[in-house]
Amino acid sequence: MEQQITIKPPPVIEKEPENMVYPDGELVRLKIYFGGSPPFKCSLSLDKNEISSDHRAIKMVEFDDHVIITILSLSQMYTGKYTFQVSNESGLASCSWYINVTGLPGPPTGPLNISHVNQHEATLNWKPPREDGGAKVTHYCVEKRDTAKDEWTVAASYVKDVVFTVQGLYEDHAYEFRVSAVNDNGIGPALTSDEPTVARLPFGKPDAPGAPNVTMIGEDFVNLTWEKPKNDNGGRILGYLIEKREKGMEVWQKCNPTPVPQSIFNVPNLIEYRQYEFRVFALNEAGLSPPSANTNMVTVKAPE
């Protein structure tokens, strides 16, 4: 009588896992189902290194027709190519998939450059972080801190570009700035400016103009000319303001509501036979210069 041989079916993995991406620190759990004839022998490897049953973070629990694989807290050291293999007397089956981790982005790449500083603004620019944490950087958060205070305040919470102008600064206050990258997992560590920046123009107020010269006197006017300041201290002269003071008075009066661009001016609306003195200020973006020297007292009268 012939002996009947029974061939047991080899293992078959019913559905292979897909590649996966998880946030840093995530608890990962997946099931892999298989068919075939028991008994089965199962193994799991990461980048061709077999994972032992007593691994501290990666666990595999075997059941009759499936396994449950758990990664207790995903981190970069547990990313890579995973391979699951199940075998019996008749053969084996295996499947592979990749697990990648995403975390917070690194700090933006420095230095944090600061330019175009004036009394109320400063422009910052930086480079993207070298590490995006495995997830695309979506935007940046820009903060400022007045060095006279302890707390940081948000200047802008959603900056798409790698350049931003911080507004609302107080003149002559010193500020620190910092920028953080943000991805879907949250906000990363900050890139901080190297040293405080003072909110002021990069140039000073001009020196005083030369003392005015009286070039013509009429019954109700005086013509003045003067030399421009010897030093504008880096800021272009925007114009001049002229003041007058009647003899015996303490208060100076403005002669022109808006600056005049030339170093010549006709002072109108004077009172005949009264005496006046005059002085001039130069103006640039940083402000007014000290006053020029005063003229001598001038008597307003029609020429003879």
C-alpha span between 264 and 242 (Å, rounded) = 10
4 part of a folded domain: no
Distance CA 144, CA 156 (A): 9
Among residues 102, 133, 155, which one ends one of the domains? 102
Specify whether the CB–CB gap between 183 and 133 falls below 8 A.
yes
Task: Looking at the structure, tell me whether residues 98 and 114 fall in a common domain.
Answer: no
Any domain includes 3: no
Do 86 and 139 reside in the same domain of the chain? no
pLDDT digit string, tens, across residues 29-73: 999 999 999 999 999 999 999 999 999 999 999 999 999 999 999
- Residue 5 within any structural domain of the chain: no
Domain containing residue 233: 213-299
How many domains does the chain divide into? 3
Do the domain assignments include residue 248? yes
- What CATH number is attached to the domain comprising 74? 2.60.40.10
Q: Tell me if 147 is assigned to some domain.
A: yes
What is the C-alpha end-to-end distance of the chain, expressed in Å? 156
In a domain, 113, yes or no: yes
What's the pTM?
0.61
In a domain, 207, yes or no: no
Last residue of a domain, one of 37, 68, 102: 102
- Final residue before a domain boundary, out of 198, 231, 246: 198
Residues 6+ apart with CB under 8 A from 109: 126, 127, 128, 129, 130, 191
Instruction: Measure the CA–CA gap between 123 and 167, rounded to whole angstroms.
Output: 9
If you search the block for the tokens 């972080």, which residue do you land on? 129
Task: Render pLDDT for 229-266 as a digit per residue (tens, 0 to 9).
Answer: 999 999 999 999 999 999 999 999 999 999 999 999 99
Q: Are 156 and 85 in the same domain?
A: no
Give the pLDDT of the chain (304 residues) as one tens digit per residue.
Answer: 456 667 789 999 999 999 998 888 899 999 999 999 999 999 999 999 999 999 999 999 999 999 999 999 998 899 999 999 999 999 999 999 999 888 899 999 999 999 999 999 999 999 999 999 888 999 999 999 999 999 999 999 999 999 999 999 999 999 999 999 999 889 999 999 999 999 998 888 999 999 999 999 999 999 999 999 999 999 999 999 999 999 999 999 999 999 999 999 999 999 999 999 999 999 998 899 999 999 999 999 998 7
